């Protein structure tokens, strides 16, 4: 398996524009997570899905953020409208049901909002 | 209740030294404590993990020490190498819940 695949790797956009980040989890994994990493706040969980259903979105900072998982092999995180304070590295991770199974992270999308 | 506190923020050691990174948690419901290693431009990757029914776990040069009564756990890297230079995150998870709560990270530099 190629691991968790995220796209794009880098995104630069202007304030006010819509940004869509994409993630393909590892095949067979039934949990998918979106994290945001910044110097100030570290790694924060934004939202996670189980079997394509959002379970906990309490980490989503504002209504400008939304996430979907239309099927087991694809998820998106959308920011609309984007703001400079959204600049961060966004990671997607996946894991499977079981006791303390490992979460596998993608390489991240570095978002810069200017 | 969900916080995991990690220290130090950064650490510099000479090759062969034994860096120690410490974490403390508050939520006694946490029962799985992994450490993740992250290299620049990469996502975090699982390094080693421990459950609270043991006080120590060793994998190669990496050892986790766990003190349940103090709600603390630490990572020791024996015979550290320049290739160990990375950011290390402790984390905690509870039961069947899948979401990890991460510490703030420690940037380790091992000098040649």
Across the interface, whether the CB atoms of B34 and A102 are under 8 A apart is answered: yes
Across the interface, whether the CB atoms of A100 and B32 are under 8 A apart is answered: yes
- Predicted confidence band at A79 (pLDDT cuts at 50, 70, 90)? very high
pLDDT digits over B5-46, tens only? 999 999 999 999 999 999 999 988 898 899 999 999 999 999
Examine the pLDDT at B52 and tell me if it is beyond 90: no
Across the interface, whether the CB atoms of B44 and A33 are under 8 A apart is answered: no
Closest Cβ–Cβ partner in A42, A95, A102 for B102: A42
Report yes or no: B41 at the A interface, CB cutoff 8 Å. yes
* Count of beta carbons in the 10 Å neighbourhood of residue B2: 13
User: Can you spell out the DSSP letters for A3-55?
Assistant: --EEE-SEEEE-TT--EEEEEEPPTT--EEEEEEEETTTEEEEEEEEETTEEE
Examine the pLDDT at B1 and tell me if it is beyond 70: no
CB B64 within 8 A of CB B88: no
pLDDT digits over B89-109, tens only? 999 987 655 788 999 999 999
Residues of A in contact with B44 (CB under 8 A): 43, 91, 105
Q: What is d(CA B66, CA B35) in angstroms, rounded to the nearest whole number?
A: 12
Q: When comparing pLDDT for B12 and A42, which is higher? A: B12
Angle, alpha carbons A9-A12-A17 (nearest 5°): 120
Angle, alpha carbons A91-A57-B33 (nearest 5°): 60
Q: How high is the pLDDT of residue A1? A: 66
Report yes or no: B20 at the A interface, CB cutoff 8 Å. no
For residue B93, the SS3 value is strand
Rg (CA), chain B: 13
Q: How high is the pLDDT of residue B98? A: 72
């Amino acid at each position: 398996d190629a691991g968790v695949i995220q796209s794009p790797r880098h995104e630069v956009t202007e304030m006010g524009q819509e940004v869509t980040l994409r993630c393909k989890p590892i095949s067979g994994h039934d949990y998918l997570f979106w994290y945001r990493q910044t110097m100030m706040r570290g790694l924060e969980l934004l939202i996670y899905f189980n079997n394509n259903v959002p379970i906990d979105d309490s980490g989503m900072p504002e209504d400008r953020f939304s996430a979907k998982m239309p099927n087991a092999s694809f998820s998106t995180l959308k920011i609309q409208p984007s703001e400079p304070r959204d600049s961060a590295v966004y990671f997607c991770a996946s894991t499977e049901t079981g006791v303390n199974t490992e979460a596998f992270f993608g390489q991240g999308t570095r978002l810069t909002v200017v | 209740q969900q916080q995991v506190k990690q220290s130090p923020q950064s650490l510099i050691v000479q090759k062969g030294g034994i860096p120690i990174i410490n974490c403390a948690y508050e939520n006694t419901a946490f029962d799985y404590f992994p450490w993740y290693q992250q290299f620049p431009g990469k996502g975090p990757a699982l390094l080693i993990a421990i459950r609270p029914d043991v006080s120590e776990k060793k994998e190669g040069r990496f050892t986790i020490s766990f003190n349940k009564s103090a709600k603390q756990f630490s990572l020791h890297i024996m015979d550290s190498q320049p290739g160990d230079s990375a950011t290390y995150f402790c984390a905690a998870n509870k039961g069947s819940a899948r979401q990890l709560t991460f510490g703030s990270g420690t940037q380790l530099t091992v000098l040649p």
